[in-house]
Chains A and B, each alone.
Chain A
Amino acid sequence: MSQLPLRAQLASALGRTAATLSRATGRGDGSVIGGRVGLMLEPDLLRQLAADRRLALVSATNGKTTTTRLITSALRQLGEVATNAFGANMPAGHVSALSTAKDAPYAVLEVDEKYLPEVLDTTRAGVVCLMNLSRDQMDRAAEIWLLAQKWRRALAAQPTLVIANCDDPLVTWAATGSARVTWVSAGQRWREDSWCCPECGGPLDRKGVDWACRECAFRRPTPSWVLDGEDVIDPRGQRWRLDLQLPGQANRSNAAIALATVAAFGLEPGHALLGLREVTSVAGRYTTVERDGRSLRLLLAKNPAGWLEAFDVADPSLPIILSVNAQGPDGRDTSWLWDVDYRILRGRPVLVTGERRRDLALRLYVAGVPFQLCDSFGQAVAVLPPGRIDVIANYTAFQQIRTEFGRAE
């Protein structure tokens, strides 16, 4: 990597000091405050830190933390990789990640959907991966058609290679118009946000993963990478068994995107898979924690599409604890509960907790899913007999549970 200008070196070093201080005083991992200090001293810091690296940006409504981890794990076979592993996915977090690994020739950054245009414009990243767009925390996030339009404009303005999931019509629309796109058929489970054509508003006809507008020429492009059950088929037609340690269809989808991405860095699927298979849990997700003879597997679900993914991983033969909050990071509005089809939980013991447990209780009552309301997570655990238990929680509810268990990975 080339030498940073003096001012940027100083800004970067002071930012790292702030991060260390923040950690030492117990105020979190420091990645955001460190980046903020750096950006205050040198507003151009992110551009300078990103220059001369091979950089991939990863954005989506769901799966961006996991996909970032998968790509990073594979790329480490080529050299050091700078990455925002703590999910600090806005510019301050990016500055912090790049400052921390200032000699890393590679960088993989998870980017908040709203910040993608700005971060792409600043960093001129060589590769951008886009997996899915769906409704999420509607009281604070940009609405998704508008978001797709902003992505589209930003991508068309750069020579970036876009790795895009062509099974998601909105993602496809955002990537159409980019100079170079690698289409990946990575699947789409949640379809409630893509019944209409983003180009003309007409109805989309769908058959399996394929889709086409009934009223204009917009249709699913032909993918060069295809996720097919447990396998990924590469552009030469070779089939690769994924054998991930991470569970579920959503993670196979993330892995397909990751394989196509690292191929752009020259890493073949055979080698890349060795890295992908090392990933066992991501920021506590899919982790199993133990208490009083009970093994609790923790699943995070932040929005309706995320709940579908979590249901796919949860074991129908096990009892399940659901915990829902509505703090700032969760979105203060619980309307989304009504977009999730909870009927799949009928027949399992279902325990309901979290700060907004009464919203969830009514939702389950109307869906005809029997449940038991618990005032605390500890009470829900105690109600169940020793053995395995699945837990699905939204963002701050998940963090509260992790804190209770000492954040064990």
Chain B
Amino acid sequence: MTSHVRLVWIYPDLLSTYGDQGNVLILEQRARARGLSVETVHVRSSDPVPDQGDIYLIGGGEDRPQILGAERLRKDGGLNRAVAHGAALLAVCAGYQIMGSVFGGEEGQPVPGLGLLDISSGRGERRAVGELAAEVDPALGLPTLTGFENHMGVTRLGPGVRPLSRTIVGTGNGDGTEGCYAGKVIGTYLHGPALARNPALADLLLAWTVGPLAPIDDTWYQRLREERLAAVLPA
């Protein structure tokens, strides 16, 4: 294993509408707190996606940027190569949908995705906006997910993925599950800075890259988690 982490943030010029930068900053902070060195590349949509990164991040966006982003990633091929080499990927909201075989465009038309997750997404009846809390697949050993969702997507999971979690509060995929994962690829509707309230998820991505991690001071993360979970979970 390595003591150096290469982060790749995909298309901040197209897919970064909701504070998605937070996930980059949190991974950097939590890696550096363990004495790891971090190198971050922000890949604009006009540039090729490097295939030698360790952890890839992709965020949310409006319909048009989502379609443009998917087209460019398909043409580029860099992300697919990186995942094939064993890189980790956290895909959020619009970015999550792009990782499937297909998602819904502005008028609900099907738009092909990257096929990195065995899912297909379409447009739901109404927008899911609000707090989300969900119990994570026990196989991953993570505490309750907490975050905010804001999307119209409905995502159907195929046999090639496992649900990331089961919702307690909120909509998620639309069938009682939220997000999914396969190998080191994780998708979620927890939009924007999903890792801010789920530092264990950030550590999972880091541990996939560098191996077991030492504990760090989590005071501010935990205070926020406790407040948000107390605000949404039934007493």
| Interface residues of A, Cβ cutoff 8 Å to B | 135, 138-140, 143-146, 192-193, 195-196, 201-203, 214, 332-339, 358-359, 361-363, 365-367
Contacts and interface: CB of A to CB of B under 8 A. Distances in A.
Given A195-B13, A362-B196, A365-B220, 9 more contacts: A139-B129, A146-B63, A195-B12, A196-B65, A333-B18, A337-B22, A338-B196, A359-B224, A366-B26
Contacts of B45: 196, 201, 203
A366 B19 CA distance: 14
A366 B26 CA distance: 7
B224 A361 contact: yes
Contact of B21 (A195, A339, A358, A365): A339
A342 to B, nearest CB: 11
B13 A203 contact: yes
A338 B223 contact: no
A332 B18 CA distance: 13
A366 B64 contact: no
Contacts, number: 97
A259 B16 CA distance: 35
Nearest to A359: B224
B15 to A, nearest CB: 10
Contacts of B223: 358, 361-362
16 contacts: A138-B150, A139-B150, A140-B129, A146-B63, A196-B14, A203-B13, A332-B130, A332-B131, A335-B192, A336-B18, A336-B19, A339-B19, A339-B21, A361-B224, A362-B224, A365-B220
Interface in B42-71: 44-46, 62-65, 68
Contacts of A338: 19-22, 25, 192-193, 196
B148 interface: yes
B64 A145 contact: yes
B17 interface: yes
Interface residues of B, number: 35
B19 A335 contact: yes
A371 B166 CA distance: 36
Question: Which label, helix, strand, loop or mixed, suits the secondary structure of the B interface?
Answer: mixed
Contacts of A140: 129
Find the residue from A192, A195, A367 having the highest chain B CB count within 10 A: A195
A359 B129 CA distance: 19
A146 B46 CA distance: 22
Contacts of B64: 145, 201
B224 A333 contact: no
Nearest to B25: A366
B221 A362 contact: yes
Nearest to B26: A366
B220 A362 contact: yes
Contacts of B224: 358-359, 361-362
Contacts of B25: 338, 366-367
Contacts of A143: 17, 62-63
A335 B22 contact: yes
Nearest to B16: A192
Given A195-B13, A201-B68, A337 B44 contact: no
B62 A146 contact: yes
B108 to A, nearest CB: 15
Contacts of A145: 62, 64-65
A203 B13 CA distance: 9
B37 interface: no
Contacts of A201: 14, 45, 64-65, 68
Residue from A202, A338, A339, A367 whose CB has the most chain B CB atoms within 10 Å: A338
Contact of A361 (B17, B148, B220): B220
B46 A333 contact: no
Contacts of B29: 366
A357 to B, nearest CB: 9
Nearest to B196: A362
B46 to A, nearest CB: 4
B105 to A, nearest CB: 13
A359 B148 CA distance: 13
